[in-house]
């Protein structure tokens, strides 16, 4: 059964696993793990032994790094 990422209600947390972040960003799970080890990359939370990400926060970080190439400099 394939899991899909649903759109949360406005302001509601939308947590996901490493696999969810991989689907969203294309960044491999092993790379996400390496980023956590070196304290780089996306912010994450640990509950017990489980690592989760706020997918809204991941999307915000991606949008913040966007470069608009259609505007003249």
| Structure tokens, 23 | 């689907």
Q: What is the pLDDT of residue 72?
A: 61
For residues 55 and 3, which has the higher predicted lDDT (pLDDT)?
A: 55
**What does pLDDT average to over the chain?**
86
Strand partners, 51: 46
The reply to whether the predicted model has a pTM over 0.95 is: no
**C-alpha atoms less than 13 angstroms from C-alpha of 11 in its C-beta half-sphere:** 0
Mean of the pLDDT values across residues 17-45?
Answer: 96
User: Residues of the chain with pLDDT > 70: what percent?
Assistant: 81
CB proximity list for 49: less than 8 A, separation 6 or greater: none
Q: What is the pLDDT of residue 1?
A: 47
């Amino acid at each position: 059964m394939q899991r899909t990422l649903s759109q949360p209600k406005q302001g509601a947390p939308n947590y996901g696993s490493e696999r969810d972040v991989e689907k969203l960003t294309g960044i491999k799970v092993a790379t996400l793990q390496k980023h956590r080890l070196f304290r780089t990359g996306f912010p994450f939370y640990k509950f017990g032994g489980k690592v989760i990400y706020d997918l809204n926060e991941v999307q915000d970080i991606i949008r913040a790094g966007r470069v608009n190439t259609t505007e003249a400099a």
